[in-house]
Amino acid sequence: MRNNIDYMGLLDKLTKKREEQQEKVQAREEEFLSLIRVYLQAAVAAEPKLGIANINMLPDLRDFKRALKVPTQGRLGIGEKAAAKKLLNSQYGLNEAFCKDLDKSINRMCHKQTDVQAYFFCFQNFTNDLLTVLTNQLQWKLRIPSFFRKLIRSSINDAVNDIMTKNDWSAPDVFQACQRIRKNVGKMGVSQKWMADYAFPILMIAKGSKVTN
């Protein structure tokens, strides 16, 4: 009986440890996605033609600005955008080209204030579908040890290419998700490379690994 109690106690500890690790992973994923939202909201605020001056319209940007005490530079969004870009580069390895593609997607879709929420909605749906399909397609490849970074990146690149070009999917729900991704990519105007660069940090975080070397 004593051994059984000890065994059950060990199982409880292991279960608790796994749950804590999963919570940490989820927190890191949300931290990254929140920073992406901050950048998008800052880029929207910095765009003169949209005329957004009320930071309460952009809650992630508001919280970011207050937490890091980012000063306003001329107009809302400029200093905050630069601060978010710096963190995306230093923490997640996302370069200037990645951010420029986001800027282009905003300019492409947002011509007036009423377009902004539609853009955010489009981006969120795109993100959800992209991660769902990549997780489904990569499966065992996501268990590749993290030090095989080039192999992981190559696998993500191949999976993104399949999403954008492959039409003979065995699972109807995956095919439908790919169709939605293609539609939203057409609206945003982002490249396959940008899609892979965007997915890589999230999938590395899901593995419990560092994103940058």
For the stretch 145-167, pLDDT in tens is: 767 788 889 999 999 999 999 99
Task: Specify burial of residue 66 (Cβ count, 10 A radius: 0-12, 13-18, 19+).
Answer: exposed
pLDDT at 24: 78
- Residue bearing the bigger pLDDT, 204 or 141: 204
Distance CA 158, CA 182 (A): 16
User: Which of 99-108, 186-195, 198-207 has the least mean pLDDT?
Assistant: 198-207
Average per-residue pLDDT in the chain? Answer: 89
Among 69-73, 104-108, 115-119, 209-213, whose mean pLDDT is lowest? 209-213
Determine the average pLDDT of the residues in 175-192: 97
Q: Which candidate, 161, 159, 165, places its Cα nearest to that of 137?
A: 159
Asked whether the predicted pLDDT for residue 1 surpasses 50, the reply is no
For residue 211, name the pLDDT band (cuts at 50, 70, 90). Answer: confident
Q: Are 130 and 199 in contact (CB under 8 A)?
A: yes
Element (H, E) at 147: none
Tens-place pLDDT, residues 100-141: 999 999 999 999 999 999 999 999 999 999 999 998 888 866
The answer to whether 159 and 134 have CB atoms below 8 angstroms apart is: yes
Cα separation, 33 vs 12, in Å, equals: 32
pLDDT tops 50 at residue 175:
yes
**How much is the average pLDDT of 29-58?**
95
| Rounded Cα distance, 131 and 126, in Å | 9
Between the alpha carbon of residue 97 and those of residues 133, 175, 196, 201, 208, the distances in Å are 25, 29, 13, 16, 26
Does the global pTM surpass 0.75?
yes
In Å, what is the CA distance from 204 to each residue of 15, 18, 201?
22, 17, 5
Instruction: Look at residue 94 and give its three-state secondary structure.
Output: coil
Looking at the chain, list the stretches that DSSP marks H as alpha helix, in order from N- to C-terminal side.
2-46, 59-68, 78-92, 96-109, 116-138, 149-165, 172-188, 192-206
Distance CA(140)–CA(4), nearest Å, equals 34
Q: For residue range 2-43, what is the model confidence (pLDDT) as tens digits? A: 455 565 565 666 566 665 566 677 788 999 999 999 999 999
Burial class (CB in 10 A: 0-12, 13-18, 19+), 203: buried
pLDDT value for 145? 72
Q: Which of 9-13, 77-81, 101-105, 200-204 has the lowest mean pLDDT?
A: 9-13
